[in-house]
Amino acid sequence: MKIAVMAGDGIGPEIMAEALKVLEVLRRDGLNIETEPALVGGAAFDAHGHPLPAATLALAQSADAVLFGAVGGPKYDTLLREHRPEKAILGLRKECDFFANLRPANVFPELADASTLKPEVVAGLDIMIIRELTGDIYFGEPRSISGAKGERVGINTMHYTEAQIRRILHVGFRTARQRSKKLCSIDKMNVLEAMQLWRDIAIEIAPEYPDVALTHMLVDNAAMQLIRNPKQFDVMVAGNMFGDILSDEASMLTGSIGMLPSASLDASGKGLYEPIHGSAPDIAGKGIANPLAQILSAAMMLRYTFNLAEPASRIEVAVRKTLAQGLRTGDIAQPKELKVSTAQMGDAVVSNM
């Protein structure tokens, strides 16, 4: 298993170090894991003048999977758009055709109090958000800011082809089939043509999955329902933009965005695995970031790309045990609880394995 390791910026390197400790345990126990690091994001821009250097992209393409940290930071915000760290992750998704983003949001029983919502609203929550990653307003043309100062116009375009919609909806239906057979398709068909097409295709495909109950929800309502009664959902499928927003919202149901891993898969199951959170520049370098989303991303990688369910659950069980033992980084600690460092959290997961 050749894994490209791209830690990136901010807290990326700190949390990646902990995920690598976990993989090292599995390697010592006999898994044939080989890791190769590469610079990406702001770190790559600083070293090579580009957030996604050709060598980094080539490594992503030749590796069996990519374990990704986070990119971005205030010092890069004034760069030209094509040099910004975010371009790296968007470029990797597009170039490697990692179109299917799986973002599970589970509430660990130990953390039901960590959510800002009432524990009874979130306890036992287990939803899967499936987000399309290669189309939509993220990549649509035309896009520009033009015109003279005072009269400037900003343009972005929501753009989806039938093929793009179709393949992500199929991922949604297949995922629902493996879970509770309920799929909620998110759109904004009351206003947007691109989303009317999304709705039409969802209805067209549904008969191929007679065992899956398909429902549709407008994205604004979905945002509201997610905090009103999140347990009504099981699998949600959405376009790139709406999925981006809803998955951040869903993460907070679990108590902390620092807990959520994700998988971004191509049609063959190869994937990029990353926490759904960003580079958190405000806490970078302090050794206090929560490494669990990164560690759980490594578990997802074993499960989805390498079909290694057993080592994946070994990691997940160790994470649960660590939480049950009361270890908390700042983001998931209650006001009076003792806080552990990034490395202490990672070491505890390792010893629980």
Select the binding partner of residue 89 from Mg ion, ligand IPM, none (C-beta < 5 to 8 A, by kind).
ligand IPM
67 sits near ligand IPM (criterion: CB under 6 A) = no
Query: Is 187 one of the catalytic residues?
Result: no
244 binds Mg ion per the rule CB under 5 A? yes
Under the binding rule (CB under 6 A), the answer on residue 64 touching ligand IPM is no
Cα distance between residue 18 and residue 342, in whole Å: 8
Active site residue 209: no
Q: Which does 86 bind (CB under 5 to 8 A by kind): Mg ion, ligand IPM, none?
A: ligand IPM
Active site residue 220: yes
**Binding residue for ligand IPM (CB under 6 A) from 17, 31, 35, 86?**
86
Q: Is 150 left (phi over 0), alpha (psi -120 to 50) or beta?
A: left
Whole-number Å distance between alpha carbons of 198 and 200: 6
Position with the least CB separation from ligand IPM: 86
**DSSP result, 223-287:** HHHHHH-GGG-SEEEE-HHHHHHHHHHHHHHTT-GGG-EEEEE-TTS-EEEEESS---TTTTTTT
Length of the chain: 353
Beta carbon nearer to ligand IPM, 86 or 97: 86
276 near ligand IPM, rule: CB under 6 A: yes
Of 136, 187, 188, 270, the active-site residue reads 188
Residue number with CB closer to ligand IPM (214 or 276): 276
- Judged by beta carbon, residue 247 or residue 329, the one nearer Mg ion is 247
Q: What is the DSSP letter of 298?
A: H
Q: Which of residues 244-263 bind ligand IPM (CB under 6 A)?
A: 244
Q: Give the CA diameter of the chain.
A: 64
Least gap, CB of 274 to ligand IPM (angstroms): 7
How many CB atoms are located within 10 Å of the residue 52 CB? 26
Q: Which residue has the tokens 């972005």?
A: 156
- Name residue 111's amino acid: L
* Neighbouring C-alpha atoms within 13 Å toward the C-beta of 108: 25
Interface residue with ligand IPM among 89, 194, 283, 295 (CB under 6 A) is 89
- What residues are labeled active site? 138, 188, 220, 244, 248
Task: Return residues touching ligand IPM (CB under 6 A).
Answer: 86, 89-90, 244, 276, 278
Task: Return residues touching Mg ion (CB under 5 A).
Answer: 244
